[in-house]
Amino acid sequence: MKNIVIFASGTGSNAENIIYYFKNNTSKSVVGVFSNNSNAKVIEKAKNLGVQTVTFNKDELYGDFVLSKIQELNPDLIVLAGFLLKFPEPIIAAFPNKIINIHPALLPKYGGKGMYGKHVHQAVLDNQETETGITIHYVNEQYDEGGIIFQKSVSISDCTTSDAIANKVHELEHRYFPEVISKILQ
């Protein structure tokens, strides 16, 4: 069995989608959801789907607590799905090329510190882009600079709001993120 651990900070729509995708899979399974926000909706969603959850604060993330909890679950892949904090170097070092992230734009455009969620979509809108998309990439010590695994674009020429852009990007995330995870774990 290949074990997947998910990190998320908010509502967890991607995490929930990934859990459902692997729910009845006989070779891959989500074994834990970690969050830095004890009030995040992702915690409730994971518990309702029978997945173990771990909440932590910033000190615990950058200390030994989170790393030890991850090691207990022995993941084959760590998936950042809307996780907003910079991932600690000791965890990256302990799991080389086993940590991936999804970014709601076509990197290298609209990446880096502070570029997440609605901030990305607003920047895309403000710059009058005609397309955007998703990038799934490996996590390294810098925001959004790890090796690109997969990108998919979508036309946004008909979008007049950042919410409209977000809806199109979410469709791509939900369709492709679980598939890419599955391919990585083959």
Which active-site residues does the annotation give?
103
The residues pairing with 77 across neighbouring beta strands, listed in sequence order, are 4
Q: How long is the chain?
A: 186
**Strands lying side by side in the sheet with 2-7:** 53-55, 28-35, 2-7, 77-80, 99-103, 131-138, 148-155
Q: Are 87 and 143 in contact (CB under 8 A)?
A: no
Question: What pairing do the DSSP bridges indicate for beta strands 99-103 and 77-80?
Answer: parallel
